[in-house]
Amino acid sequence: MEVARKLLKQYFGYDEFRKGQKDIIESILNKKDVMGIMPTGGGKSICFQIPALIFEGVTIVISPLISLMKDQVDSLNIVGIPATFINSSLSTTEYRNRMMAIQNNKYKIIYVAPERLESEAFIASMKRINISQIAIDEAHCVSHWGHDFRKSYIKIKDFIDIFSIRPIITAFTATATEEVKKDITVQLGLKSPNITITGFDRENLKLIIVRNASKQKFIVSYIEENKHVSGIIYCATRKETDKLHTLLSKLGYSVGKYHAGMSESSREKSQEDFLYDNKSIMIATNAFGMGIDKSNIRYVIHNNMPKNLEAYYQEIGRAGRDGEKSECVLLFGSQDIILQKYFIEELGDSSEAVKQNKYEQLQRMIDYSYTTSCLRKHVLNYFGEERADEKCDNCSNCSDYLEKKDMTIEAQKILSCVYRMNQRFGTNIVTKVLKGSHAQQTDSFRELSTFGIMKECAVNDIKEYINVLIADGYLKMEGDKYPIIKLTENSAKILKENDKVYIQTIKHKEVSENEGLFEILRQLRKEISVEENVPPFVVFSDATLKEMSSRYPISKAQILNISGVGEVKYEKYGERFIDEIKAYIHNNNLDIDNMKSDTKTYTSHKIKETNKEASYITTANLYLNLRDMDAVVKERNLKPMTIQDHIISAYMEGFQLDINEFIPKGQESFVLEAIKKVGTEKLRPIKDLLPEDVSYLTIKAVIAKHKL
């Protein structure tokens, strides 16, 4: 694995493998078939790219979308790894030249569209080269029970079987239920695969549900607050996509659109504008995005509820691939349910078993849309990942995004009505009885004590109350096309045990701001992307730029210590970024010697000063006199972070300070637990694992106290 680690640093600029990568790569190097289930942005590609560099032969990567192939190949070629792709976007001449180069062993990694496996000429060409590994990306596409089954994926096993010396088979996906995992193993013919599941959680994504809002009004307001960042807005239909695109274009926003009704050239142009940051917003149907490698998407908004949780999680996974905080907003309305049921019924010759499965998946999506419990826990449980904590503090049900309204009285009325109607009717009839409607369907219920008991409520409000009760397990739906409502074991908790039930409304906030050095580096990245004809995120990710912005690297050694900066990228771009950072330091008169705080320990942190008494001692003495951090900042005329570092450095040098002053009660154990997971090499990964109220000063104090 030492060779693999060196290649990781040399080509990709990372010092250590992420969770799961090391185990997967070890299995592949030991010639084992592998199934890797890792969240989007979790580093699946490196799992097969590193072995590809080590193996003597070629690695074939089967990938479903042209855009993904181009982005991946651009990224590999930029860091000096010979790679190419074969798909329908190539002209006859380009195809012939690439196939000739493949036969002459010019490439280590070749991306291939699954449809290419239907070409006998292509298969014959593949049999003539030494293939060490076949990697299948988006492997869930091979399963009938998955959310995005593709017939072309069925050809993969036949392709594998043509080789007299069988290559290692590696399959990767971000989302897979138990059923889909079993199907992937069978359909691809994996031999006793090592299955590595790193978890489905994307901790940097805030999950938000907005119910029964004015969707257009919300979107316009949200975009206005976040107009400097990239985002995707998904719509269920082409008509809705066109309508929203027209509205936002008229309002002057930088917006593109993408759906299957557009010409291929129009789709390609729109996608390219988005990838290259020429357009900041993409309005699209689910025809767009699978495998999109753009790392700096800060939000994904669903204008309509998706068909199931797998599709939803795959689509929101396009946000925050660089690990930076991003938001995923689902705008839910009851009409979305009707639309998705219509799509199921339009499946044509699909079997009843397939339709029933899709109805069950849709109900899970509806439950998610109405639940008042932790959204992250709800979706992770769906994928079989148990979560012990009840709150994640990073979804709309666990944060201050929501205002709660007690609906316990309404819940009792609804449950009583369902009981008195003998649990034999669906949402529409129950709603009409509660509302006291004189429609023909309610004739036999007008003597019930619950008839008209909610006549003061709007019909949509009653339906929302019912759906909340279903989502939270106080009611259940039985049947597919025409489901009926029934009580559950939990119903008695509201009727007899005084359980409280809440319905929630939401507020939204800005995702992020772009300013200062980060914005300057972002503009430089854009210039380079135009020069190189590659998307900006291929040059450096937002996460890399933000680390540069906080650490101010001004030498080769320093910038190579930034995550995402490898030797090849340094040779290409490093000096240009260093020059911009130096100019920013000079123009803003920054004392960066006093700003370096992201180091493994604080004993090596040297503070330069002209007089003999160290600066940090001056700061520490002043703090002991004033006992007010803000007052010290003002008196010393230094940045708060510099003052913090002075105090920590003074403590580490033996100055008599009570370090526990800077560790609020109850926070030390959280920090130590986070350090166990990610170490102390960098502070940011530690901070990301902690509640928002745990400060960097507290983290530094804990590290200093325990001499970590």
Contacts of 202 (CB under 8 A, 6+ apart): 39, 40, 41, 316, 317, 320
pLDDT at 84: 94
Residues ≥6 apart with Cβ < 8 Å to 362: 307, 308, 337, 340, 341, 344
Cβ-based neighbours of 660, under 8 Å, separated by 6 or more = 701, 705
- Measured at the alpha carbon of residue 675, what is the angle toward residues 669 and 679, in degrees to the nearest 5? 165
Q: How far is CA 394 from the centre of its chain?
A: 13
For residue 402, what pLDDT is reported? 58
Residues of the chain within CATH 3.40.50.300 domain(s) are 2-197, 205-401
Write down the architecture of domain 2-197 according to CATH: 3-Layer(aba) Sandwich (3.40)
H helix runs in 196-304, sequence order: 215-225, 238-250, 264-275
User: What amino acid is encoded at 111 in this protein?
Assistant: Y
pLDDT of 241 reads 94
Question: Is 161 in contact with 27 (CB distance < 8 Å)?
Answer: no
Write down the CATH number for the domain with range 205-401: 3.40.50.300
Q: What is the pLDDT of residue 109?
A: 96
- Sort strands 326-332 and 297-302 into parallel, antiparallel or unpaired: parallel
What are the structure tokens assigned to 149, written together?
Answer: 């089954």
Residue from 445, 386, 387, 380 nearest 417 by CA:
445
3-state secondary structure of 501: coil
Query: For residue 593, how many other CB atoms are within 10 A of its CB?
Result: 13
- Nearest Cα to Cα of residue 371 among 205, 508, 501: 501
Round to whole Å and give the CA distance between 130 and 498.
69
Question: What SS3 state is found at 454?
Answer: coil
Q: Per the structure block, which two tokens stand in for 228?
A: 């400097």
Using CA atoms, how far residue 225 sits from 253, 316, 509, 606, in Å, is: 12, 20, 8, 41
CB proximity list for 288: less than 8 A, separation 6 or greater: 232, 258, 259, 267, 271, 282
pLDDT value of residue 603 = 26
- Cα separation, 80 vs 354, in Å, equals 46
With a cut of 50, which residues of the chain have pLDDT below it?
508, 513-514, 596-614
Q: Who's near 278: CB < 8 A, 6+ residues apart?
A: 254, 272
| Cα distance between residue 208 and residue 231, in whole Å | 15
Which CATH superfamily is 516-588 part of? Answer: HRDC domain (1.10.150.80)
Q: From CA 8, how far away is CA 2, in angstroms rounded?
A: 10
Token pair 């370090």: residue: 659
Find the helix or strand (DSSP H, E) in which 696 lies.
helix 696-705
Taking the C-alpha atoms of residue 241 and residue 215, their distance in angstroms, rounded to an integer, is 13
Q: What is the pLDDT of residue 513?
A: 45
The pLDDT assigned to 434 comes to: 95
The pLDDT, as a whole number, for residue 271 is: 87
CB-count exposure of residue 587 (10 Å: 0-12, 13-18, 19+): exposed
Residue 537 and residue 539: Cα distance in Å, rounded? 5
Beta bridge partners of 85: 111
Distance separating alpha carbons of residues 258 and 266, to the nearest angstrom? 8
Domain with CATH 1.10.10.10 in the chain: 412-497
Q: Is the distance from CB of 347 to CB of 355 less than 8 angstroms? A: yes
Q: Is 5 helix (H, G, I), strand (E, B) or coil?
A: helix
Q: Are 578 and 611 in contact (CB under 8 A)?
A: no
Taking the C-alpha atoms of residue 50 and residue 27, their distance in angstroms, rounded to an integer, is 12
Q: With respect to CATH, is domain 412-497 assigned 3.10.129.10?
A: no
- Model-wide pTM > 0.75: no
CA 241/CA 682 separation, integer angstroms: 43
DSSP 3-state of 389: coil
Alpha-helix runs per DSSP H in 323-458: 335-345, 352-370, 375-382, 408-420, 427-435
Cα–Cα distance measured from residue 232 to residue 301, given in angstroms and rounded to the nearest whole number: 6
